[in-house]
Amino acid sequence: MDYLEGLNPEQKAAVKQISGPVMIIAGAGSGKTRVITFRVAHLVRSGVDSFNILVLTFTNKASREMRERITKLVGPEAKNIWMGTFHSVFSKILRVEADKIGYPNNFTIYDTDDSKSVLRAILKEMNLDDKLYSVNVVLNRISAAKNNLVSWIEYQKNDQIQADDISSNRPMLGTIYQNYVQRCYRAGAMDFDDLLFKTNELLKLYPDVLNKYQHKFKYLMVDEYQDTNFSQYLIVKKLAAVNENICVVGDDAQSIYAFRGANIQNILNFEKDYPDLKIFKLEQNYRSTQNIVNVANSIIANNKEQLKKNVFSEKENGDKIKVMRAYSDNEEGKLVAEAIVHERTTKGLKWNAFAILYRTNAQSRSMEEALRKLGTPYKIYGGLSFYQRKEIKDLIAYFRITFNPADEEALKRVINYPRRGIGDTTIDKIIVAADQNQVTPWEVVADPTRYLPGERISSSVSAFSMMIQGFQVIARNKSAYEAALHIAQHSGLLKDLYEDKSVEGLNRYENIQELLNGIKEFSEREDIEEKGLDVFMQDIALLTNDDNDKNKDADTVSLMTIHSSKGLEFPQVYVVGLEENLFPSQMSLNSRTDLEEERRLFYVAVTRAQSKLTISYATSRFKFGTLINCEPSRFLDEIDAQYLDLDLTAKQPANNVGSLHYDERSAWSRTDDKFTRPKPKATTAPPVKTTSILAKAHVVSASFKVSDTSNLQVGMQVEHERFGFGKVISLEGNKPDVKATIFFKEIGQKQLLLKFAKLSIVTNN
C-alpha cells in the first residue's frame, strides 16, 4: 500500500473502494486524474484481471495520460486494460460484432465533412433548397436524434417531432434522415454518432452479445460523467447491470455541454440507479489560492440543482480578484493587454502563464488587436485567429480587390462567393486568358469580349465587374464603416450568412458583425485624421499574418472560449465580457436550467486560475454597427465582495443616463424558471455603495457646450462627453493639428487631437 501514501484521506478512501457502485465527486483542481489512475492501479494490484477493466474517457489525451501513469504503477499489465474514449472503445466492439447488425467488420467511419458531403448529394437529388435545409441544420438534427436513440423510423412516426419540423418549414427532415442512414449503410459506413447508436442497437437486439460484455467488463470506470448523453448513459448502465462494480467520476458544477447533448441529470440522479451507492467527495483544491476558490464557491452556491460540496484550498489567500470596468470592448482589450504586460514585467513570468477566456469567439477581435499593438505574442486555442476565419477572410478579400483589382487571390476567392453562376470552368478560362495576354485576371473580367473572343461567358462576370467598380466609388467617397457595410451588404455575403440559421452560421454572421463593429470604432476614433477603409486595411495588415507556430508549449498568451478551457489551468486568467446578454448569454435568460449552465460555465472559467484572476466588462459595445450600452453581468453581483478588488475607473458613454445598482441579495426577482431584471433606477437613486460592482456613470453636464479650443492652455479644466472631467497637462504640435494630453479623473490619461475632441472648457484654473 506504500504507493497510496501520497493521497489525502478522501482520495485514498475512494481508491480503496473497489467493489460496488461508487461516485467520486471531484471538485475543480482536486486531483481527479490522479485518483482514477491510482484506483485502476489498485484494482490490478488487488488481483483484478486487467482484461476485465473498462475505463471510459472523453478525450484521447486523457486516456493516454492515464495509461502512462498506470503503466508506471503496475507495469506492462496496463496495456491489457480496455481504456479509451466512448467512441474508440465501442468502435472496437462494433468491429468484432458488426456482422450481426449487417455491417462489414471493416466499416468506414465518416467524419463531419464526409457526412456533409453525403447530405449535400441527398439535398441535391431531392431538389431541396439548401438554404432552408442547410447542411449544418440537417446534420445537427440527425445527430440529436441519434444521441437520443431516435431512429429514422421513430423520427417519422413521432407526432411532436413532425410538428416541430413542419413549424420550422422543414417537413422533409425525416425523409432526409432516412436517405442518409440508408446511404451510409449501402456504403458500409458509420458516422461518429452511429458508434454509440449502433452499440445501443447491438446490446438491445442481441442479449448474448450484451451478456458477453457484461461478464467481460467486471469493473467499469467513467471519467467526466457529468458530460454523458442519454446514449452513453444507457450503454454504461447496461454493461454494469450484472456486477454493478461501476465507478463514475465527475463534477456537476462543471457540466457545460448541454448543447452537445450532455445531460447533467445523469450525475445528479446516479444514486437513484444504485441505492447502495458509496459517495466520495474530493473537496481539496490543489490548483488555486483560497480567494479564487472562495469566489468560485460563492458563484456556484446560487445554483439550485447541484451536489453539495465544500471545496477548499490550503494554499495562501493570494490576491483578491480584480474586477476591471472598461467603457468599450476595445478599451477592455487595451486594459487586459496592458495588465498582462505589467504582470509579466513585474513578476518575471512567461507569456504562457496568461490566458484570456471569453464567452464567444467574436470577442477575440478586440483582445487580439490590443495584444498585437503591444507586441505581445498570443495563440488562439481551439480555433482560428479572428482574422483567419473564412468569413472574415472572405469579406476582407472583397476589401482587397476593391483597392487593388490586380490581387488575383482575392478575385479567385470572391468571384463566385456568394454563388453568382460563375463556375470553375469560367474561372479557369479567365486565368488562362490572363496568362496568355500577360494581363491580370481582373482585366479579363473587366473586358471579357476582348480577352475571351468567341467564348460564351456568363453575364454574371460583367455584373461582378460592375459591382466591384461600384465598390471602388463608394470606398473613395465614404467612411471606412459606410464603405465596409455597403460592400458586405451588396456583395451578398451578409445575406448569405444571415440565411444560415445553424449554430455555425449564426457564429459566422456574428463574426462579420464583429469585424464591422471594429471598423465602426475605427471610423469614430478621435486620434486619427484619415479614416478611409484603405487606411483600416493597412492598420490590420499585420493582424492577418499567421505565425504558423505549431509548438504547443510556445511562450504565448492563450486566447480561448471558456468551453475550450475546460481541463486546463494557468497561473493568471482574465475572464472578459461579463455583461448581461453576453455572459450570461441572451438565450439563457428565459430558463433557469439554461441560466444555471451559464453559471457553471462561469465557475469553470474562474477555476482555471491558479494564482491570479481578473474579471472585466465593458459598459458599451458595438453591435450590428450600433453602440449599445451594456449592463454588468448578474454573476458579478453573486460574488462575495470581500474577495474583490474593484477597478472601476472607466466610465459609461455619456448617452447612458443614470446609475444602475442591484442589491446582492435581491438583485433578481425569481419565479420557478424565469428571472426578471428589475428596472434601472433613476438618476436620483441613492449613492452606490463603494463595494458595488456598478459605479455611477458620467452624466454630461446640462451646461455642456463644445468650446473653441484654439486658445486652450495647460492647466485648464475641461469636460468630454464620454471621458468626463479632466485637466490639460500638456499641448504639442502646430495648429490645426494640436494634440492635448488630458488627465481625466475617472479613466486616467488620454491624448486627443483638439480639432476632433469636442471639449467643453469648464475653467481656466
In 556-692, DSSP assigns E strands to 557-561, 570-575, 609-618, 620-623, 626-629, 644-647, 669-670, 675-676
Task: Tell me the backbone φ, ψ of residue 295, rounded to 5 degrees.
Answer: -65, -45
Residues in the chain predicted with pLDDT less than 70, given as ranges, are 1, 106, 113, 382-385, 526-529, 538-553, 648-699, 746-748, 764-765
- Residue 125: active-site member: no
What is the pLDDT, as a whole number, of residue 63? 83
What pLDDT digit, counting tens, does each position of 314-327 carry? 899 999 999 999 98
Q: Is 607 annotated as a binding residue?
A: no
Per the structure block, which three cell numbers stand in for 607?
A: 477555476
33 is in an annotated binding site: yes
Exactly one of 315, 608, 651, 696 is catalytic; name it. Answer: 608
Q: Which of 11, 226, 232, 254 is catalytic?
A: 254
Under DSSP, the state recorded for 62 is H
The DSSP call for residue 551 is: -
Other C-beta atoms closer than 10 Å to the C-beta of 455 total 12
Q: Angle CA(121)–CA(127)–CA(131) in degrees, nearest 5?
A: 80
Amino acid at 427: I
Distance CA(174)–CA(154), nearest Å, equals 9
Q: Does the annotation flag 28 for ligand binding?
A: yes
Dihedral sign computed on CA atoms, order 704, 708, 711, 714? positive
228: CB partners within 8 A, 6+ apart: 222, 236, 262, 263, 266, 267
Q: How far is CA 344 from the centre of its chain?
A: 26
Residue 30 known to bind ligand = yes
Within 187-282, strands assigned E span 189-191, 219-222, 246-250, 278-282
Are 480 and 535 in contact by the 8 Å Cβ rule? The answer is: yes
pTM equals 0.68
Among residues 224, 329, 496, 719, the one annotated as catalytic is 224
- Residue 496, all three cell numbers: 448569405
| Contact predicate 439/451, CB 8 Å | yes
What integer pLDDT is reported at residue 667 of this predicted model? 29
Cα distances (Å, whole numbers) of residue 749 to 77, 84, 251, 634: 65, 56, 46, 30
SS3 694: coil
**Catalytic pick among 12, 32, 198, 325:** 32
State the Rg of the chain over Cα. 30
Residue 32 assigned as binding residue: yes
Q: Which cell goes with 523?
A: 471610423
Beta-strand (E) ranges in 473-608? Answer: 557-561, 570-575
Annotation says 32 is catalytic: yes
- φ/ψ (deg, to 5) at 267: -90, -35
Q: For this structure, is 223 an active site residue?
A: yes
* Residue 684 is a catalytic residue: no
Paired residues of 761 in beta bridges: 718
Cβ(532)–Cβ(475) under 8 Å? Answer: yes
Q: Are 223 and 565 contacting, i.e. CB atoms less than 8 angstroms apart?
A: no
Q: Which residues contact 275 (CB under 8 A, 6 or more apart)?
A: none
752 Cβ contact partners less than 8 Å away, ≥ 6 residues apart? 526, 527, 720, 739, 740, 742, 759
Cis peptide bond prior to 584, omega within 30° of 0: yes
Per-residue pLDDT tens digits for 360-413:
888 988 999 999 999 899 998 765 567 778 899 899 889 988 988 877 778 888
Whose CA is closest to 355, among 607, 557, 549, 554?
557
Of 223, 252, 496, 510, the catalytic one is 223
345 CB-contact burial (10 Å; exposed 0-12 / middle 13-18 / buried 19+)? exposed
Determine whether the annotation assigns residue 27 to a binding site. yes
Residue 501, phi then psi, degrees to nearest 5: -90, 10
User: What are the CA-CA distances from residue 162 to residues 126, 173, 302, 626 (Å)?
Assistant: 19, 9, 38, 39
483 is in an annotated binding site: no
What sign does the CA torsion over 161, 166, 169, 172 have?
positive
Does 413 qualify as catalytic in the annotation?
no
Q: How far, in whole angstroms, is CA 57 from its chain's centroid?
A: 22
* Cβ neighbourhood burial of 160 (10 Å; 0-12, 13-18, 19+): exposed
